[in-house]
Each structure stands twice: as structure tokens, then as C-alpha cells.
Chains A and B, each alone.
Chain A
Amino acid sequence: MEALDLARWQFGITTVYHFIFVPLTIGLSLLVAIMQTIAVRSKDPVRKDAWTRLTKFFGSMLIVNFGIGIATGIVQEFQFGMNWSEYSRYVGDVFGAPLALEGLLAFFLESVFLGLWIFGWNKLPEKIHLLTIWMVAIGTMLSAYFIIAANSFMQHPVGAVLNPETGRAELDPSQGSILSVLTNVTTLAAFPHVISGAWLVASAFVTGVAGWHMVRHHNKARELGMETTDGAEHHLMSRDVFRPAVRFGVVAMFVSALVLVISGDFQAKIMFEQQPMKMASAEALCETQSGAPFSILTVGGPDAFAADCDSVTHLIEVPYVTAILATYDPNATLQGVDDLNAQYKEQFGETTTDIFGNEVEADYRPNLFVTYWSFRLMIGLAVFSAIVAFWALWVTRGKGDQARTTGSKAFAWFTVLAIPMPFLANSAGWVFTEMGRQPWVVHPNPLDPTVRLMTIQGVSSNPGWMVLTSMVTFTLLYGVLAVVWFYLMRKAALKGIPIPQRDEQTDELDTPAISFGY
């Protein structure tokens, strides 16, 4: 493999890995902030107590997760310069600004206030302490906004112009400059999609973990007998602490799903206009077609892993859906991959020049297999979340004294096993949008295609062995960290919330604290 492929693999590995943790951090910091708000605002002592415990319980997992997101995020910022120096030279005048703004507005906010939140329990006044977790949540969302704005510039450059003197893209005051970059329509569509994707990850997580404990305490209560003191405590844990958390998670799932679907639909329309090649690849639409159907299963040639258009066979199709997805018009004409490729060759040239000045043949088609399947995986995995949400709603139905919990082991297992699904959907979405953009690192804006850069032109000049060294190092290190992370998250999740122990002599309730600091 050459340095270019290795650098792409490294970017893929480190980014997908980073974005396993980031959505949970973004979503969970908001959910924990809401939990703590409910706790602070509750007048009913039972309710206040339950939500305080939930805040600390999910907060302890948020902290474990936060660490690894920060650690892997540093790599992301350095990587542009290390592996993609020629890209950095070309876009730095535009692309650097959102990254610097992210540091200035978001990283400081989340880091400083996370410290204050973790170590400020019982030290800061209640309302001030509540404010700190909100600052953390706002910081994570701001961070996402700036990164999406930076990424959107790669999908659809705006606010910039090619300066022939310097040979690079520069912010253009006459096109709205940084404000255009930050209000790129691509950003406005992608941000709600990414954020609601993060919420879905976190709310499925909360539902899964709380669902597990609700069932556990429910069964423990029946086992011990509801009339015993301990049995009653377990019943209260199930009904008053974890059941509200499950329902809270379900509500958050519905909100996330609504935003996800609306923003996703909007994105498809934009993508059809801005990156028709990506849309066509998502559908493995090889030839230009009117009223294009949405294919559910497609095989390519004899090996089923075809990365190009030769002998692609659509097996199952739903008529008109792709056309509607792209334009709202069932009879719209969509251009196929091969036609677009021919058109781009005419527009951007049959060949391109790499960083060493060699002429290389240009192929403007992304990897069809990856784009087609990652798009379907992203959407298809939502089925699991939908089942969890409706199932959880059903088993926790009822109000007040009629409020139900369940002892169903099947439910407990299903909610827990459904936790990774939105994580995978997030990864699939990023793989789709990044690999669907290839061979471009900065995709030309159809309205003004002068600002554009092919991936092959963005890589650093470092030799392959060097990139391989760093790729292997990061992969191994990340592998070890994944094991540590999983172990600690599992431990924190399984621990649950301690039952108060009754002191035999004084008959006082003693609640073990949930450890919080480092």
C-alpha cells in the first residue's frame, strides 16, 4: 500500500474510533444535564432523590466516556498537518478558522466546566453546580457545530475563492467570508442530523442501562417478597428510580428520531444537488434513470463485492422512492454514476497531478459497495431503536400506583443488545458521507467549482513506512484503550445504584455514595 492509502486508512480508523465515543459524550452530557435539572427543580423528595441518583449514576459513565473522546480528539487536530499537509496548505486559510474557533469557544468551555462539575459536588452552590453541567453540554454541541462546519466546507465549499497568486482557497469577504462558512446550508442540514444521531446513541444507552436495572430490581423484589423491607426497597428502585429513567430515555429516543428523519431527508435533497455522484452511488444507480426506485438488495457481478458499475444487479426495489428521496418528485430524472463520471472527466480532466508532479488517471466514482451498504446500514439499524422504544413504552405503561415495571429478561437483554446499534449507525453514516465524497477531499461546489482538491493532491510527502508506523501505533493503542473503556463502562453500568442499607442498631438508612472523583 502507498502512503496515500495508508493515510486514508489511518484517517478512517482514527475518525471512526473517535466518533464511537463522541456521540455518547454529546448526547449523554445533555441528558445528564436534564436529569440534574429535574433533580434540582423537583419539590417531591422521592422524585428529587431518584433523579439525583440517576444524575450521578449516568454522570459516572459520562466521565469515563469523556476521557477517551478528548484523548482521541487531539489526534484529529494534529492529523491534518501530519498526514494531510498539502490539503492543509490548500484550505488552511478557510478550514483552520472553525477549528480554532472550536478550541476557543468549545474546548475551553467543556474542559474547565467538566472539572468544576466533577469536583464541585457539595462544594459549589446547587444552582451554580447545575450550570456547570449545562456549560459542558453546550460546549460539546458547539464543538460539534464547528467541526460540522469545517467538514461541510469539504463537502460543499462556500465563502471562499481560489487565489491564483497563492494557489490556495481563501476566505472571500465578497461571499460572506466566515459567516458563509458557518451558515453553509450543508452545515445547517448536517448539524441537526449529527446531533440527533448523538442523542439517539445516548438515549438508547440510557434506556438500555436503566431498562436492565429496572428488570433486575423488579425480579429481586419478587424474589425477596414485596412485604420484606429489602424487597420493598428493590421495588422502589425499580418503580421510582429506573422506570422514570427508562421512560425519559424513550422520550429522548422519539425526539432524536424525529429530528434525525427530518434532517436526513433534507440532507438527501441537498446531496442530490451538491454531490449527485454520492447520491447515485448510495443507490448504486449506474445509469441515468427517471422515477428511480430505492433498491433494498443489490448484488454486483459474480463476487457480490463489486466496487464499480459492471454487472450490478438490483434484486429488490421499491419504485419511485429514490426519486422522492432526492427531489420530492417521483418522476424526477437522476443521473447515473457512469454518466456523471464521463461528465466530470470532461469538466475536470481525464488525468490529475499528484503531489510529486506525476500524471495520474482520474476516476470520479467512489467505492460503490461501501457507499451503497453504509447508507443502508445507517438507516436499517434504526429498526432496533424503534423496537426498543415501543417495547419499553408498553412495559412501563400506567400512571401513579398503576405504574408498571417488568421482569422480562427478554426485554432486559434486548434493550442492552440494542445499545450498540445507534453507535454503528453513526459510524456507517460517516463512512458513507466521507467515502461517498471520494476521490475528492474538497468536493467542487457545482455553482463555482474552482475551489476543489482531490484526495491524492492533499496527502503529505512522508514515506509509506512512516505512515504505516503511526497507523499501526494508533490502531494498537486504540485497541487497548477500547478494552479498558469497555471494562470500565461495563463495571460502572452493572454496579447500578446502591440500595440504602438499614443500620440494625440505629435503624437509620445509610446510602452508599457513588464514587465520582478521579
Chain B
Amino acid sequence: MDMIDPTLLQTLWFALIAFFFLGYFLLEGFDFGVEMNVLALGKGDTERRGTIISTIAPIWDGNQVWLLVGGASIFAAFPEWYATLFSGFYLALLLLLVMLIVRVCAFKYRAKHDTPTWTKTWDWVHILSGFLPALLWGVAFANIVRGVAIDGNSWVTTSLLGLLNPFGLLGGIVFVLLFWLHGTLYLTLRTVGELREDANRLAGILILPTIIAGAAFLIWYQLAYSNSALTWLPLLVAAVALVAVAVLNRMRREGAAFMASLTAIGGAGVTLFGGLFPYVLPATNDAANSLTVAGASSSEHTLLVMTIAVVVFMPIVLAYEIWSFWVFRHRIAGPDDPQPPGLVERARGAYREAFDQDGGRRHAES
């Protein structure tokens, strides 16, 4: 198959898919990391674990939507990619889905019943659904950019075990470490006291293995699989950002360290997606069977329709999601305190007066 150059719209949509998945990894990435810290920083203490979870309780759901929009966008913009990828990575996706399902329930149901077994069970679900999806996403993405065996019908012939090759596994480890570090830095921003200190210390421990594994993975990728020399640039950005995390975390510049970790994940993501272009799923057995940006996409008309939708609606989405981050930006001290003092005291007072549970009744009786 001759390589056909992708059109402008096809290229734009490849970039938009990268944008949605990057959004997912940047935002849900710290949620995964926070859940890993239910184990690492929770010290088996229900209340401490509750505090850790409540730092992300109001926002994780919105962060997860980036995946749903990313997945549906692949369906809409690159149906061939969607069909081949999702049917081909069947068992890996099944495992991922199971984790994502129980994860939602852990968030919603943990505090709905009060026995030690109940809470502990959901704590473990949180821990597993922090580590496992991160690992699975790493394995999956490493294999997407590396390529799998694809037959003439565009059906993937690589098995689940075939996905667990050294490069795939290293990708899994890198994703776990990156998200873990990211979530730990997020905790230094959103907690107080001992928990904040512990998170700072843990970030200091995690940074070195993250740099080593991350560098090994990205350089391996760049040398063996990347289709562009240009991706050295984001790779370098990611590397510098990770080093900056180490320095900033030691200096206790929590906000800056978190921004650096966002930059590192962003740089790594751009490296992976950038080096994948102009393919969407390379075939390792026969290059002619590779799925390309040009070959796997929807019609130009559909891409145009979808572009208009994204241009109109994405800014609105970004505005209210950022607003929700702003509302829940304060440090929290305990599990029942997702956002304590300070915010709009005046409005709060007025609201309490009007909405307080016994206010009205007492008033009625007098």
C-alpha cells in the first residue's frame, strides 16, 4: 500500500485524539496516583485513607470523561482504528473495563455503609484501580506505538500474551510511576500537616525510579519505533521537567512541582503520539497492513462536522471544568471536609440561613 499523505483535517483529528487522551492522562493520571497512595500513604488508617480519597472525590468523574470523549472520538474520526484496536486488544480492554467499573463503585459506595470490612474492601478496590488501569494503559499505549501483528482483514492477530513484551511491560511500569508521582505531588498541594509532609517525602523517593524508567522507555521508543526525529524535542522537555520535579519538590515549591509533572506527562504523551504519526496502528508483520491516519479515518465531511462541534463546545467544557477545579482548590484536613474554610464566607452564611435543616422548622413552630 502506498503511503497517502493525510489531509489537514485528518492530521487535525489525529492531534485532537492525542489532546483528549493527554487530557485524560494529565487529569485522571493524578486520580490514579492518589488512589495508589491509599496504600502508600494511607497507613491502613480508615480516616487517613478517607482524607486521601476526598482530595479527588468531587472531580475524578469529570476527569474520567476525557477517556469517554477520546474513545468516542476515535470511533467518529477513525472508525477503522477504533474497530481494529478495540476488537484486537480485547482481553486487555476487558480487564481495564472491569477495573474502571469497580472503581466508580469504590468512589460512590465507600462511605455509604459503615463497617470496617466494607470500608477496607473498597479501599482495596481503590488501590487496585489506581495501579492496574495505569499499568494497562501503559502496556496498551506502548503496544499501539510499537505496533502489533495485523492480518489482511485489519484484524489483530497478536494475543494478550503478545502484548506483554518487554517494551510493553516497561511502558506499563513507566505509566504507573509517572501517575504515582503525579498523584503524590497533587496530594502535597491539597492536604495539610502530616499527610502533606509524607507526600512530599514519597515524591522525593519516587522521582529517581521515574526518571530512570521514563528515560529508558522514551529513548528506546525514539531509537526503535518513532517515525520522526522531531519527537526528540518533547522527549527532552519531559526529561527536563522530571528533573525539575526533583528540584522543586525538594524546595517545597508544591505548585511548581505539580506543573512540572504535568509538563513531563505532556511531553511524554506528545513524544508517543508524535512518533506514531502518520500511522495509527503499525503492523509489525507486514507494513502494508498498517493502519494509517489517512487510511483509517472518516470522510472529510464527517471530520469537518466534528471539528465544528469541538470548536464550539470544547471551550465551554474547559471553562466549567476549570471552574470546578477552582471551587474545590482548597487544602483539606479530613475525610468529611472536602473543602473547608475560606470560600465565599458571605454566601455560605446566607445559604446556611436559608437552607439549614432545622432553621425552617424551628421558625415554623415559634
Contacts and interface: CB of A to CB of B under 8 A. Distances in A.
A118 B301 CA distance: 41
A173 B57 contact: no
Contacts of A83: 87
A111 B302 contact: no
B101 A115 contact: no
A490 to B, nearest CB: 11
A93 B82 CA distance: 11
Contacts of B54: 517-518
Interface string B65-100: 100110111011111101111110011011001101
B86 to A, nearest CB: 3
A114 interface: yes
Contact of A466 (B53, B91, B357): B91
- Of listed A45, A46, A78, A83, residue having the most chain B CB within 10 A: A78
B338 A119 contact: yes
Contact of A178 (B90, B103, B305, B313): B305
Interface string A91-107: 11111110111111101
Interface string B326-366: 01100000001011000110011011101101111111110
B327 to A, nearest CB: 6
Given A85-B83, A104-B314, A122-B348, A518 B57 contact: yes
B108 A66 contact: yes
Given A45-B364, A46-B364, A63-B108, A108 B72 contact: no
The prevalent SS among residues of B at the interface is: helix
A511 B102 CA distance: 34
Interface residues of A, number: 92
A32 B108 CA distance: 18
B299 A170 contact: yes
Interface in B175-217: none
A517 B336 contact: yes
Count class of interface residues, chain B = 35 or more
A6 B82 CA distance: 21
- Of listed A101, A102, A508, residue having the most chain B CB within 10 A: A101
A93 B302 contact: yes
Given A103-B72, A518-B107, A72 B357 contact: no
Contacts of A123: 327, 339, 343-344, 348
B344 to A, nearest CB: 7
A295 B267 CA distance: 66
B319 to A, nearest CB: 10
A81 interface: yes
Contact of A64 (B75, B83, B108, B339): B108
Nearest to B151: A461
- Of listed B64, B105, B153, B354, residue having the most chain A CB within 10 A: B105
Contacts of B65: 103, 107-108, 111-112
The prevalent SS among residues of A at the interface is: helix
A71 B68 contact: no
B104 A97 contact: no
Interface in A119-140: 119-120, 122-126, 129
Interface stretch (B109-117, B137-145, B164-172): B109-117
Contacts of B132: none
B39 interface: no
Nearest to B358: A511
A46 B361 contact: yes
Contacts of B154: 89
B155 interface: yes
A172 B305 CA distance: 11
Contact of B320 (A49, A112, A460, A491): A112
A122 B352 contact: yes
17 contacts: A67-B108, A81-B75, A81-B86, A89-B79, A93-B79, A100-B73, A100-B75, A103-B68, A108-B65, A125-B347, A126-B355, A129-B351, A177-B301, A460-B83, A477-B102, A509-B362, A510-B358
Interface of A: 39-40, 45-46, 48-49, 52-53, 63-64, 66-68, 70-72, 74-75, 77-78, 80-83, 85-86, 88-89, 91-97, 99-105, 107-109, 111-116, 118-120, 122-126, 129, 163, 166, 168, 170-173, 177-178, 460-462, 466, 469-470, 473, 477, 481, 484, 487-488, 491-492, 500, 508-511, 513, 515, 517-518
Give 9 nearest A-B pairs by CB, closest first: A92-B79, A81-B86, A96-B76, A67-B108, A49-B360, A103-B69, A85-B87, A96-B75, A85-B83
Given A66-B108, A86-B83, A89-B80, 18 more contacts: A52-B355, A71-B105, A85-B155, A88-B75, A103-B71, A104-B309, A104-B310, A105-B313, A108-B69, A109-B320, A111-B62, A122-B348, A126-B351, A126-B354, A171-B299, A171-B305, A178-B305, A517-B111
